[in-house]
Amino acid sequence: MASRRAWMAGIDDGLTPVADALEAFLLRGGKRLRPAFAYWGYRGAGGPDSTQVVATLAALELVQASALIHDDLMDRSDTRRGEPAIHRRFGTHHRRAGWTGSADAFGEASAILLGDLCLVWSDELLHSSGLDSTTLARARPVFDEMRSEVTVGQYLDVLTQATGDTSLERAGKVARFKSAKYTVERPLLVGAALADAGPEVQAAYSAYGLPLGEAFQLRDDVLGVFGDPEQTGKPAGDDLREGKRTYLVAAAMQTLDPAGRKLLEQRLGDPELDTEGVAALRELIVGSGALERTETRIAQLTETAVAALHRVELLPEAREVLVELAAAATRRRD
pLDDT, position 135: 97
pLDDT, position 115: 98
Residue 296, CB-side half-sphere exposure with 13 Å CA sphere:
6
pLDDT < 70 stretches in the chain:
333-334
CA distance 324 to 331: 11
pLDDT, position 64: 96
CA distance 325 to 35: 12
CA distance 250 to 242: 15
pLDDT, position 321: 97
168-183 residue pLDDT tens: 999 989 989 988 899 9
DSSP 3-state of 275: helix
CA distance 108 to 192: 37
CA distance 182 to 175: 10
| Helices (H), ranges, the chain | 2-9, 16-27, 33-44, 51-57, 59-75, 86-97, 103-127, 133-163, 168-175, 186-194, 199-226, 229-232, 238-242, 247-255, 258-267, 275-287, 290-308, 316-330
Q: What is the DSSP string of 213-229?
A: HHHHHHHHHHHHHH--H
pLDDT, position 231: 75
pLDDT, position 334: 59
pTM over 0.75, yes/no? yes
DSSP 3-state of 83: strand
Nearest by Cα to 19 from 95, 116, 117, 91: 117
Domains and CATH numbers, the chain: 1-30+59-128 (no CATH), 139-334 (1.10.600.10)
pLDDT, position 66: 97
